Amino acid sequence: MLSILDRYFLRELAQTVAAVAVVLLVILAGSAFARVLQQVANGSFPASVMFQVLGLNMLDGLANLLPLAGFLGVFWSLGRMYRESEMHVLASSGMGPGGLLRPVAILAMGLALIVGLVSLWLGPWATRTSDALVAEANRSVIAAGLDAGRFTELPGKGGIIFVDTLSRDGSVLGNTLIVTERAGKKGGPSVVKLVTGKSGQLYQDSNGDGRYLALHDGWQYEIPLGADNWRKMQYERNDASLSNVQNDNSDEDPAHTLGTFALSHVNTPNARAEFAWRITVPVMAVVLMMLSLPLSRQSPREPRYGRMLLAVLAFFLYFNLLVLCRSQIIKGHWHNAGPMWLVSLLLFAGAAWMFRNQYTARRPRKGTT
């Protein structure tokens, strides 16, 4: 049964953690929106699924955002109580370290469960769902950026396309014109290629990397600029490339899209590193909450942001050590999450030792004669 003091601490800490999480989420949304908008402009995926992809990317980022929000929220809330002498009054009333440790531990366990849920299930699911949305949208001519009655630039400077009519689902095209330009052979003049067709249909490669138009009953012209050796050809069917679907996430780890159970059975360096990170992130949330206890203790006259700088530096040191351990697993030097858990255990023990020393009665100084 929680005491009145426990409920008070939980309410104050949870409100501050929630406020910090909202602020960090807004910052994450801004950076994610800029990245998604750039991918849309480069033709990685159509604008029709931009906000769905943005929301799923933010959901995937919660695994790294929530531990930081919990750390800063508890640090800020307890620091305010120390500056306003609230903690000193409670300590003089008989509250020991257990009175502060118990509500923080409850909050840390709850936050670790949420982070574990996001890291082990929701994050990979969001990535897979985002990829499926992009793949499905790219199968539609309308979603791929084409619109009846206007010229549309193909992604990656692939040329210009014009269609006069489109079916409601975007699968069937009417009269179509595609204009592309390529460099000439052996330093010759550039060649402009015009392809027309009375009808067409969009399709993709089996791996989803390229979009193509199957044009029917049309003409193809190849016009070297500055020359008169034009070529003209009539065809019944002509498959024209709409340029490859560009992907700005070429550095993204494919193992990130795998479910945790399937990932645990993949024995590659990237898969082992991804699995190690997923099971370490919930532990990171608990370690950071423990670290916030000794770092938040301050005197009433201490500058408000002095300890905040120290807390941010401690977080980045811990986070970068985990990233360094993950990179060693990717390189094949290590094969499991043992070093990451060791770093977390050492930091947790150090934070617990500092917190214990803060509540240990100091020995009186011996007088001098």
| Average pLDDT score over the chain | 82
- CA pair distance 62, 126, nearest whole angstrom: 11
User: Would you say residue 240 has pLDDT above 90?
Assistant: no
Provide, rounded to the nearest whole percent, the portion of the chain with pLDDT above 70: 81
As a whole number, mean pLDDT of residues 1-20 equals: 87
Question: Tell me, what's the pLDDT at 364?
Answer: 59
Most confident of 118-127, 198-207, 257-266: 118-127
Q: Are 361 and 312 in contact (CB under 8 A)?
A: no
User: Would you say residue 253 has pLDDT above 70?
Assistant: no
pLDDT tens digits for range 314-361:
999 999 999 999 999 998 888 888 899 999 999 999 999 988 887 665
As a whole number, mean pLDDT of residues 243-247 equals: 46
Tokens, residue 354: 């500092």
pLDDT tens digits for range 35-52:
888 777 665 666 777 888
**What are the boundaries of each domain within the chain?**
4-137+253-358, 151-244
Question: Tell me, what's the pLDDT at 246?
Answer: 45
- Rg (alpha carbons) of the chain, rounded to whole number: 30
Provide, rounded to the nearest whole percent, the portion of the chain with pLDDT above 90: 26
pLDDT tens digits for range 72-106:
999 998 888 888 878 778 777 777 667 788 889 99
User: Would you say residue 119 has pLDDT above 80?
Assistant: yes
Give me the DSSP letters along 71-88: HHHHHHHHHHHHHTTHHH
As a whole number, mean pLDDT of residues 114-124 equals: 92
Q: Is the dihedral of CA 164, 51, 124, 335 positive or negative?
A: positive
pLDDT tens digits for range 271-326:
888 899 999 999 999 999 999 998 888 777 767 677 888 888 999 999 999 999 99
pLDDT band, residue 245 (cuts 50/70/90): very low
63 burial type by CB count under 10 A (0-12 exposed, 13-18 middle, 19+ buried): buried
User: Would you say residue 53 has pLDDT above 50?
Assistant: yes
- CA pair distance 330, 326, nearest whole angstrom: 6
Interacting residues of 262 by C-beta distance below 8 A, sequence separation 6+? none
pTM: 0.72
- CA pair distance 244, 204, nearest whole angstrom: 10
